[in-house]
């Protein structure tokens, strides 16, 4: 291990050093990104508001009355609805 004898590092050692440094900083950057992303907590993946938030906003703007708000909120919470689902509508060719 006496590097002072000879011509110093070979080309492959310099290349290995550069690749390892690149890998180190890439992993460090990814780790910071992962920590920041996990610190934000769970959220909506697309950044769009959920149905209850939209319903609340519509009530606040006066677009719907309280009776319609309550009925729609129950439909959202129970997962019910009177409209056809997409697969059945596609199967019948009505969509």
DSSP per position, 28-58? HHHHHHHHHHHHT-S--TT-PPPHHHHHHHH
pLDDT, tens digit (0-9, with 9 covering 90-100), for 22-77: 999 999 999 999 999 888 776 655 566 788 999 999 999 999 999 999 999 999 88
Please tell me which residue, 27 or 13, carries the higher pLDDT value: 27
Torsion of CA 5, 11, 17, 18, to 10 degrees: 150
Q: Give me the pLDDT at residue 89, please.
A: 46
Please tell me which residue, 91 or 47, carries the higher pLDDT value: 47
Global pTM reads 0.39
| 68 vs 71: CA distance, rounded Å | 5
């Amino acid at each position: 291990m006496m590097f002072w004898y000879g011509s110093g590092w070979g080309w492959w050692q310099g290349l290995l050093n550069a690749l390892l440094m690149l890998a180190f900083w890439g992993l460090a950057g990814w780790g910071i990104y992962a920590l920041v992303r996990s610190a934000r907590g769970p959220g909506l993946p697309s950044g769009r508001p959920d149905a209850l938030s939209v319903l609340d906003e519509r009530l606040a703007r006066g677009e719907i009355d309280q009776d319609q708000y309550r009925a729609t909120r129950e439909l959202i919470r129970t997962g019910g609805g009177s409209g056809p689902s997409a697969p059945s509508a596609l199967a019948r060719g009505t969509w």
